[in-house]
Structure 1
Amino acid sequence: MLKIGVLGTGHLGKIHLKCIQLASEAYELIGFFDPNDEAAAAAAAAYSIKRWTDLDALIQAADVIDIVTPTVTHFELARKVISHGKHLFIEKPVTNTLEEAEELLALAQEKGVKVQVGHVERFNPALLALGGTPLEPMFIEAHRLAVFNPRGTDVSVILDLMIHDLDIIQSLVRSEVRSVSASGVAVVSDSADICNARVEFENGCVANLTASRISMKQMRKLRLFQKDAYISLDFLDKEAQVVRMYDRPEQLPDDNRMELETPNGKRYIHLSAPQTEPVNAIKMELESFAQSIQEDARPVVSLEDGYRALKLAYQIIEQMEERARTTAQG
């Protein structure tokens, strides 16, 4: 069993504390560090766990540290943890800048520690339900809309919301980015609250993403289009649908199928809804990290994955800002 300490007891930090206690077969929760006395007292009382006032002492006592603090603090804390030779789970976005993430990559490799980034949507039942479904998307649409919440507005909507889809898309496409275009608007925050981006990959795949934190409704959907198939994922309702086209009726089940006349003759469409299993996604991602440590395997969402998502996020931010400057000058 791995000894784990948590840094940060804000909204998400409290959820992590609870999930770690539920993952008792993987972890022994030895306590937390939070410089905010009020938040720390509330967490210690609510979860009956020790508050450490010496950060270095907590890191030394743990096998794993879980960083659930504001993004601007990630780098310094992560560097300290990795320098102590401890494994690290760190919430997304991994750092505030690409340079910081690059330094952590080098340091983690030098120290030989495992790092997993908290892109929790990788553990959403809708995505997990696809299982062995062959995926080679050539066009992707992503919509991630949220009702305004002041929490999280310390970063742009790209780093707050869209980065989830950037991580998922790059895990599915597995091709280098060729070009990026984007536009966005700051409505109620100092940084962008709504953004649309178009990402083209070297293999020809195109992804069109929209993220907003000033919507009147919640939406988290991803649609994948590929040769002979359309796949719809609803991360909010945790549902998946697969529509696949076949040349011959004997290739598909009798249920949920229909004929389609095409210029090349009849083809056959089959609709399926892969079964989704309810999961505690945060508990699951933390357990998967423990497994990667114990089996000396690559984490499901590695530090490299977190860096790639951050890199693409900053490419989008750069293009969005360039478009805004061009528009202002014109």
Structure 2
Amino acid sequence: MGLLGVGHLGKIHLKCIRLARAHYDLIGFYDADTDMARHVAAEFNVKAYDSPEELIAASDVVDVVTPTPTHFALVKQALLGGCHVFVEKPLTETLEEAKELIELSRKTRKLVQVGHVERFNPALLALGDLTVKPYFIEAHRLAMFNPRGVDVSVVLDLMIHDLDIILKLADDEVADVRASGVAVLSDQPDIVNARIEFKGGAVANLTASRISLKNMRKVRLFQPDAYISLDLLEKESQVVRLFEQNSKDIPAVGQQFPLDTPKGKRIIHVDQPDSGPVNAIQMELESLADSITNGKPAAVSIEDGYRALALAHRIMEAVNDNQRKLPQPTV
């Protein structure tokens, strides 16, 4: 594996590739910042390549952890160079670029996995084979202000994590999108709320903010037989279900509470499943190796990355449409 980009996140990937040594040999990296490249090469005792072309030519798999505007060109170059690709989210800047990469991936028969790392969050993994079919989804992703990443809307910066999750959990086509947002500290919306309606009737309400006084990453799922709470920041999950009093389906593990209802006594069962600690980035990189070795689809496919990006663009368009309808301030 060769690594493209050794900025803040790129260095984390570098460490995780080395942790995944049973799956990959890290041959080196390329970074356009020559001073940064020289420093990282010395610090981590790893080869710095002089160009992306040289790195790609020496690699079987390329890990792209560079600014989003560079994703399209680098992923295309890697695919044409015969490499499988891991690329950080979002897949590309534009939908046209993403479509071209999908076609190229199919043509070259090389896998592209997109780095929607929350798919590997222990809170989500802990659900295991639990049947999840939500009627209503509520997600809050709040972050304290950080100048890094403010060149794009908070939708692409933060909300896109939750868009990928809800598209996976809802497993349905989007029927309608409504959204509003406000730019407070940057030129792009810093806080956005979106309502997403699916063709099957499910509804998702999402809020993303990068101007909060605290960090929060929570997803709540409501369905007829369960309430599921995911704390992606604390990596904890909780599943609350209602059973008939003498039901044989009540799990042995978890807490039980009696409840009087108009239909008689019921049992509330509360479970806090635990998947154990994981290194999510290492895990997603290893999953790509498993897909390559065993001929399986990527855990987060290039098509998944496209769907999340397409929904993000619909939300940003809805924000713009809503802003045009609002009365403009007068001087």
Q: Same fold (TM over 0.5)?
A: yes
Q: Distance in 2 between matches of 1:140 and 1:34?
A: 40
Query: 1:57: Cα distance to partner?
Result: 1.7
Matches within 5 A, 1:1-330: 4-251=1-248, 252-253=250-251, 256-328=255-327
The residue identity in structure 2 corresponding to 1:192 is P
8 A contact 1:153–1:189 mirrored in 2: yes
The AA in structure 1 aligned to 2:206 is L
Task: Give the secondary structure class of the aligned counterpart of 2:96.
Answer: helix
Query: How many residue pairs are counted as aligned between the two chains?
Result: 327
SS at match of 2:212: coil
Percent identity over paired residues: 58
The structural deviation recorded for 1:37 is 1.1
**Distance across 2 between alignment mates of 1:299 and 1:256:** 37
1:242-280 C-alpha deviation (Å, 9 max, x unpaired): 000112334325762122222222222100100231011
Pairwise CA distance, 1:41: 1.2
Deviations 1:175-215 (A, max 9, x none): 00010000000111111110000000011110000000010
* Rounded Cα–Cα distance in structure 1 between residues aligned with 2:175 and 2:262: 34
**TM-score normalized with structure 1 length:** 0.97
> Which letter does structure 2 place at the counterpart of 1:196?
N
Counterparts of 1:249 and 1:44, CA distance in 2: 64
Could you tell me how far apart the structure 2 residues matched to 1:37 and 1:58 are? Answer: 15
Report the Cα distance in structure 2 between the residues aligned to 1:253 and 1:234, rounded to whole angstroms: 22
Distance of 1:177 and 1:77 partners within structure 2: 30
Q: Distance in 1 between matches of 2:240 and 2:229?
A: 8
| Deviation for aligned residue 1:70 | 0.4
CA deviations 1:5-39 (Å, max 9, x no partner) are 01111000000001001110000000001111111
Distance (whole Å) between structure 2 residues aligned to residue 217 and residue 116 of structure 1:
31
Q: State which drifts further: 293-302 or 255-264.
A: 255-264
The TM-score with structure 2 as length reference comes to: 0.97
Question: 1-side partners of 2:121 and 2:295: how far apart?
Answer: 24
Q: Which runs of 5+ in 2 are unaligned?
A: none
Structure 2: distance between partners of 1:40 and 1:80: 21
Give, in angstroms, the shift of residue 60 of structure 1.
Answer: 1.1
Deviations 1:129-174 (A, max 9, x none): 1101111111000000001111111211000100000001101111
**Offset at residue 291 of structure 1 (A):** 0.5
Q: CA RMSD in A?
A: 1.2
2:240 maps to amino acid: V
Alignment partners' CA distance in 1, 2:276 and 2:99: 36
> C-alpha separation between the residues in 2 aligned to 1:65 and 1:149?
28
Q: Does the 8 Å CA contact 1:239/1:276 hold for their aligned counterparts?
A: no
Determine the C-alpha separation between the residues in 1 that align with 2:278 and 2:117. 12
Which amino acid is 2:17 matched to? I
Given that residues 238 and 276 in structure 1 are in contact (C-alpha distance below 8 angstroms), is that contact kept between their aligned partners in structure 2? no
* SS of 2:37 mapped into structure 1: helix
Contact preservation (8 Å) 1:146, 1:213: yes
Query: Residue type of the partner of 2:96?
Result: E
SS in structure 2 of the partner of residue 200 of structure 1? strand
Single out whichever of 36-45 and 114-123 deviates more from structure 2.
36-45
| Unaligned runs of at least 5 residues, structure 1 | none
Partners of 2:247 and 2:202 in 1: how far apart? 31
Instruction: Give the aligned residue type for 1:283.
Output: Q
Shift, 1:83, TM fit: 1.3
1:79-98: per-residue Cα shift (whole Å, max 9, x none)? 11111121000000000011
Measure, in 1, the Cα distance between the counterparts of 2:237 and 2:78.
Answer: 38
